[in-house]
């Protein structure tokens, strides 16, 4: 049996990746390492917590001594690294915590892997999960490819770009076998309600205003989170060492159009007259340094590994809205803070 470390597995994307790996790969023992920051929520993975091939470890990737000991103890064969501070707005208020987790945390993991693997890299792999935001902002034309130069604009994307550079540097300098992916905006179940789609679903449920930044004409490429998890599984097993793959939804939306579509779906689901939720839209002060447009060319992963998104945006958004409406306790536990007590109740 191989020991695989997944970091950030109590977060949004990480929880889907942990679920997929635990259920699809009984030949692995999955260790889910997560600090349980405000974004970490063990209620995201209650369905697999009792699995025989799963262990949760509460711990901070910034703590180098702890990370070193953990790698020595479990002799991980592979690392799937998702733990990060992930919200752009928070990075504008507190850049240093992004440097600590995203840069120093990543380097701590790289050092620990390098030490235990000690140059014997056969069957070993460090998979670093990154974002398309490292490429900066597009104008109205063009797509990000794997060779687009890095040009990050927010403290979040600068910290992710830095961590990507360190991963590649460990590959070049020490031969550490890595694979790296840059993905577009994800959406779906278990998304923390500070990000656009879950925040607005929650606000519509509670008749609260929908704060659209600036003129709402910013464009993002949206991917259903389970399709990202499938891509991660594929890249971890079939991606080439020392290579990079872009992952995206071929699905660009201006924020305001997305918000209007969401309002329409929510009105129908909640039995409200069409147009009701749109009245909640409030244009607010823009985010500083707001990137105009992200759009991914995901043809390399399509051609080389055969991956493509499995759902359309309309299908994915409908699934997402249904999930949030059926799981309002999950949402309420976050807004009340109850979710933060899960670890104490379950593990202590």
- 47 is known as an active-site residue: no
Q: Which of these is catalytic: 43, 133, 226, 252?
A: 133
Q: Say how far apart CA 180 and CA 256 lie, in whole Å.
A: 31
Q: Which of these is catalytic: 85, 132, 164, 221?
A: 132
- 274 is known as an active-site residue: no
- 252 is known as an active-site residue: no
Instruction: For the CB of residue 137, give the shortest distance to ligand TYD in the complex, in Å.
Output: 10
Residue of 6, 30, 42, 61 interacting with ligand NAD (CB under 6 A): 61
Q: Is 34 in the site for ligand NAD (CB under 6 A)?
A: yes
Contacts of 229 (CB under 8 A, 6+ apart): 13, 16, 17, 19, 20
Return the SS3 of 274: coil
CA-only gyration radius of the chain, Å:
20
Q: Which one-letter DSSP state was computed for residue 101?
A: I
Q: Which is nearer to ligand NAD, 121 or 323 (CB)?
A: 323
Residue in 236, 226, 178 with CA at minimum distance from that of residue 2: 236
Q: Is 37 in the site for ligand NAD (CB under 6 A)?
A: yes
Of ligand TYD, ligand NAD, none, which one sits near residue 220, judging by CB under 5 to 8 A according to partner kind? ligand TYD
Near ligand TYD in 166-185, by CB under 6 A: 185
Q: Tokens 């076998």 belong to which residue?
A: 177
CA angle (77, 80, 82) in 5-degree steps: 155
| Full strand arrangement of the beta sheet holding 252-254 | 185-187, 219-224, 252-254
Q: Say how far apart CA 334 and CA 235 lie, in whole Å.
A: 32
Of ligand NAD, ligand TYD, none, which one sits near residue 152, judging by CB under 5 to 8 A according to partner kind? none
Q: 28 - beta bridge partners?
A: 2
The residues binding ligand TYD (CB under 6 A) are 88, 185, 195-196, 199, 211-213, 218, 220, 255, 287
Residues in touch with ligand NAD (CB under 6 A): 7-8, 10-14, 34-37, 39-40, 60-62, 82-86, 101, 105, 129, 131, 160, 183, 185-186, 192
Q: Which residues have a catalytic role annotated?
A: 132-133, 156
């Amino acid at each position: 049996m191989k020991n695989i470390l997944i970091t950030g597995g109590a977060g949004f994307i990480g929880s889907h990746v942990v679920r997929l790996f635990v259920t699809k790969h009984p030949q692995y023992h999955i260790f889910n390492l997560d600090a349980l920051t405000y974004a970490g929520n063990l209620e995201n993975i209650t369905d697999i917590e009792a699995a025989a091939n799963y262990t949760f470890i509460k711990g901070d990737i910034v703590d180098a001594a702890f990370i070193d000991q953990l790698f020595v103890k479990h002799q991980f064969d592979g690392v799937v690294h998702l733990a990060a501070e992930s919200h752009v707005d928070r990075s504008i208020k507190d850049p240093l915590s992004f440097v600590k987790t995203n840069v120093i945390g990543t380097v701590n993991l790289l050092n620990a892997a390098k030490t235990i693997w000690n140059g014997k890299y056969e069957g070993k792999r460090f998979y670093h999960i990154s974002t398309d935001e490292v490429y900066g902002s597009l104008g109205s034309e063009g797509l990000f490819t794997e060779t687009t130069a890095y040009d990050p604009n927010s403290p979040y994307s600068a910290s992710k770009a830095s961590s990507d550079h360190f991963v590649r540097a460990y590959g070049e300098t020490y031969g550490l076998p890595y694979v790296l992916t840059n993905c577009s905006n994800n959406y779906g179940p278990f998304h923390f309600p500070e990000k656009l789609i879950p925040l607005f679903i929650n606000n519509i449920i509670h008749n609260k205003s929908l704060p659209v930044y600036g003129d709402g004409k910013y464009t993002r490429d949206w991917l259903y989170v389970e399709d990202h998890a499938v891509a991660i599984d594929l890249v971890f097993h079939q991606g080439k060492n020392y290579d990079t793959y872009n992952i995206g939804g071929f699905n660009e939306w201006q924020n305001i159009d997305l918000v209007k579509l969401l309002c329409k779906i929510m009105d129908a689901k909640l039995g409200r007259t069409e147009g009701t939720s749109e009245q909640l839209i409030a244009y607010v002060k823009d985010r500083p340094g707001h990137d105009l447009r992200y759009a991914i060319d995901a043809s390399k992963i399509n051609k080389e590994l055969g991956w493509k998104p499995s759902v359309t945006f309309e299908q994915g958004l409908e699934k997402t809205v249904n999930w949030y409406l059926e799981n309002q306790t999950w949402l309420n536990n976050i807004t009340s803070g109850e979710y933060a007590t899960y670890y104490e109740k379950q593990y202590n």
